[in-house]
Amino acid sequence: MPSDLIVLNVMGPFREPREPAFSYDYSVQRPNWATAQGVRIKVSIEHELDFLKHTILEISGGSVGQQMRCNQLLVRAIADQKLEIVDSDGQLSERLDVMIGPFEGDTFGHLFSLLEQWMRAEKVTLRQLMKDQVGL
**What is the span of the domain harbouring residue 129?**
6-133
* Residues 52/22, Cβ–Cβ less than 8 Å: no
Asked whether residue 103 is assigned to any structural domain, the reply reads yes
* Residues 129/73, Cβ–Cβ less than 8 Å: yes
pLDDT at position 1: 55
96: buried, middle or exposed (CB in 10 Å: 19+, 13-18, 0-12)?
A: exposed
Asked whether residue 78 is assigned to any structural domain, the reply reads yes
pLDDT at position 2: 64
Asked whether residue 117 is assigned to any structural domain, the reply reads yes
Give tens-digit pLDDT for 6-16.
999 999 999 99
Q: How many domains does the chain contain in total?
A: 1
Angstrom distance (rounded) from CA 28 to CA 38: 6
Give tens-digit pLDDT for 42-56.
999 999 999 999 999
113-to-49, 53, 62, 76 alpha-carbon distances in Å: 14, 16, 29, 19
Asked whether residue 1 is assigned to any structural domain, the reply reads no
H-assigned helices in 1-136: 50, 64-88, 105-108, 112-121, 123-133
Asked whether residue 109 is assigned to any structural domain, the reply reads yes
Asked whether residue 127 is assigned to any structural domain, the reply reads yes
Angstrom distance (rounded) from CA 65 to CA 4: 37
